[in-house]
Amino acid sequence: MNKTHLIFRHEFWHTIKRTGFVVLTLVPPLVILLGIGVYDVISGITKPPAEATEIGYVDEVGIFGRFTSQEEITLVPFDSGEAATEALVSEDIKEYFVIPSDFISTGTIDRYITQRELAPPAATTAAIENFIDSNLLEGKVPETVITRVEAPLNLDTTTLTATGEVAKQQGGMANFIVPGVFSVLLALALIFNSTYLLRSLSEEKETRMMEILLSSVSPRQLLAGKVLGLGAAGLLQVGVWVSLIPLLLNLASSSIGGFISTIQLPANFLILGIVYFILGYAIFAVVSAGVAAISPNVREAQGIASIYTVPAVAPLWFMSLLLLAPNSPVWVAFSIFPFTAPVLVMLRLGVTGVPAWQLAISIAVLVACIIGGLVLASRLLRAYMLMYGKRPNLGEIVRNLRNG
């Protein structure tokens, strides 16, 4: 009688009751939710006052006297640096700058503040630049030209399809947020769930529970039940994250606003996310099963696992390079390599469109490796699951795989 469903049921319920599983499932969405709330509170506390900020300036050139109202910043003239310093110390102005007599030739302006900062605020820099440009161009060009000099470019990019129509999914950094976060969670899910399988098999082997199990089920039934049970638990985990994405996006949009509200997920993102989790988990699971079979104890098995689980998170290390050239042949190759494909494809979907042929090859390679890995892992389970106290050498492993 096929006992796979019994193993499946046991592993599924045992896994979802683990504290680590519950934490990994619920904490990331809660952390994001908490982050949105903290941002809302802090932004309300630190929001700058609505009244205009006064910034002083000293004009040593003698031509900068107009256009002193720049958005919410008002520029106040002073006759000398001493007078401006006195106003700054007495907090009549927030800061001041000096336009030296050789400004036309050097373009250098000296700015004075009372508190250290990493860089001038963007609003201050823009106000000073517009003030300088407007005064330099006054009377020389039409006012409309001055306005265009102050804001020379409003670049609006539109993505077209291969037929020249406007694409439903447009680009932008905002659209990378969800795939980026999901990729991190996916990498964690793949590692943790395959590690659960590794630990389960290793502990059963080390405690000799495996002898009892293999007296009732075949190695292939045991492996299939464990892989499917842990996979179903992992799929439940991913399903929770996916179902919470719209809610978190709505909360972030209403609280943070701005570019968050422009987020557009690729139409196939959620489907591919589930597909690549299933395939990614399966490839890591069958390798974990093989490692558990040849390892004499849990510690050695986990040490070996740290080697082949690194590729799952490796794409996250090179995210900056991926953003610069997402369609580079290097990333295309690693989108096909089975151990990096799940996370890397999710990242690339957030940056650019991944051609259908690349997805097809990537999925086909994963499926082929899973089938082959399942056969090899079953052979290793038959050969070594009841072997205790020693680790087989490479030659023995190869012979058993050939003769299995």
Q: Is 35 left (phi over 0), alpha (psi -120 to 50) or beta?
A: alpha
**pLDDT for 86:** 92
What are 19-65's pLDDT values in tens digits?
A: 878 887 888 778 877 776 676 666 666 555 545 588 999 999 888 98
Q: How many angstroms separate the CA atoms of 290 and 301, rounded?
A: 10
pTM: 0.64
Provide CB contacts within 8 A for 105, sequence distance 6+.
Answer: none
Half-sphere exposure of 14 (CA within 13 A, CB side): 15
**Cβ-contact 134, 146 below 8 angstroms:** yes
pLDDT, the chain, mean: 78
pLDDT, tens digit (0-9, with 9 covering 90-100), for 111-144: 999 888 888 888 889 889 989 988 888 878 777 7
* Domain architecture of the chain: domains with CATH: 4-33+171-403 (no CATH), 53-150 (3.40.190.10)
The H or E element that residue 54 is part of is: strand 53-59
3-state SS assignment for residue 330: helix
Q: What is the pLDDT of residue 84?
A: 92
Summarize the confidence of residues 95-106 as an average pLDDT: 91
Report the pLDDT averaged over residues 262-282.
Answer: 77
Percent of the chain with pLDDT over 90: 13
- Sequence-separated (6 or more) residues with CB below 8 Å from residue 170: 157, 158, 159, 264
3-state secondary structure 115-132: CCCCCCCHHHHHHHHHHH
Q: Which two tokens stand for residue 353?
A: 């469109």
Cα-based torsion angle of the residue sequence 21, 22, 26, 27 in order, rounded to the nearest 10 degrees: -70
Sign of the alpha-carbon torsion through 290, 295, 298, 302: negative
Question: What is the average pLDDT across 222-228?
Answer: 80
Calculate the dihedral angle through the C-alpha atoms of 30, 278, 322, 304, rounding to the nearest 10 degrees.
90
